[in-house]
Amino acid sequence: MFDVLIIGGGVSGISCALVLGSARNKPFASDKKIGIITHQKASSLQDAIFYNAYGIPSGKLGSELLEESKEHLAKDYPHVEQISDEKVLKIEGNFNEFIITTNKNSCKSRIVVIAIGAGNPFTIEGLDEYVIPHQKIAPEKNRIQLKNIDHKVTDGIYVTGTLAGWRSQLSIASGSGAAVATDILTLWNNGNHTQVHDSIRK
Ligand SMILES: Cc1cc2nc3c(=O)[nH]c(=O)nc-3n(C[C@H](O)[C@H](O)[C@H](O)COP(=O)(O)OP(=O)(O)OC[C@H]3O[C@@H](n4cnc5c(N)ncnc54)[C@H](O)[C@@H]3O)c2cc1C
């Protein structure tokens, strides 16, 4: 049983995992089991090259980011379990007991974060009632999003990145994943607002 399982290892999914992982020394997060399904074949990053994303060196290839971001997560936060090369097919259940079925396996999680991008059709069974046309991408591009209020779809289900209804820019997707991570940390911290900062000053 995961406490939180992130589905999708692109920009918003890995960003969410990094911030959740970075809270490992907080008492309310230290016992939490965090996982991410790092399927990457359908990522927008595959063909992208970046000149306009804050903190990313100019000319960086998205295909490099896909690999380097997984290495970063594994090196700094090895307690975050990475499940590679599995595609999620179905989500069933409710808050505190979702069943996630992939093309190879199934597992349970208390909270699920959907970070799979805005591609149409939506490929995960069980969430159809939340799928609507994307509200901030031109209609002719035929993108979708999940209905949400400030990233929350329903109790225990969060959505990040372009699938949350944000326009497609790396920095927006990254911020969206980080925002959801802090919402989950705040939930674990009994509603007390939480962020995770490292500092060179002790
Ligand atoms: C060609 C191109 C060029 C771009 N150039 C720029 C640019 O110059 N500047 C900029 O700011 N932005 C650019 N972008 C946009 C940027 O890459 C996206 O906004 C960003 O990647 C969106 O992040 P995301 O997390 O929503 O989705 P993604 O990064 O696409 O991540 C979604 C992840 O979910 C996975 N996934 C999908 N379905 C499943 C499933 N069923 N089960 C498990 N995993 C699944 C995918 O494999 C992928 O890893 C570009 C995009 C493209 C396509």
The residue to which tokens 């990094």 are assigned:
18
Average pLDDT over residues 119-129: 95
Global pTM value:
0.98
- To test the pocket of ligand 1, the residue of 38, 170, 171, 176 to mutate (highest count of ligand atoms within 8 Å of its CB) is 170
The larger pLDDT score, comparing residue 43 to residue 80, is at 80
**Sequence-distant (≥ 6) Cβ neighbours of residue 67 within 8 angstroms:** none
Q: Which residues line ligand 1 (CB under 6 A)?
A: 7-13, 37, 39-45, 47-48, 50, 52-53, 62, 87-88, 115-117, 123-124, 161-163, 168-171, 173
Residue 41 Cα to ligand 1 midpoint, Å, equals 10
pLDDT of residue 102: 97
- To test the pocket of ligand 1, the residue of 38, 44, 170 to mutate (highest count of ligand atoms within 8 Å of its CB) is 44
- Cα 27 from Cα 43, distance rounded (Å): 34
**Residue 202 pLDDT exceeds 80:** no
The model's confidence at residue 5, banded by pLDDT at 50, 70 and 90, is very high
The residue to which tokens 């396996």 are assigned:
105
CA distances 104 to 90, 100, 116, 202, Å, are 12, 11, 18, 45
Residue 91 Cα to ligand 1 midpoint, Å, equals 21
The kind and range of the H/E element at 106 are strand 106-114
pLDDT by residue (tens digit) across 154-175? 999 999 999 999 999 999 999 9
Q: How far apart are the first and last CA of the chain?
A: 35
Average pLDDT over residues 38-59: 92
Domains of the chain with CATH codes = 2-188 (3.50.50.60)
pLDDT by residue (tens digit) across 67-87? 999 999 999 999 999 999 899
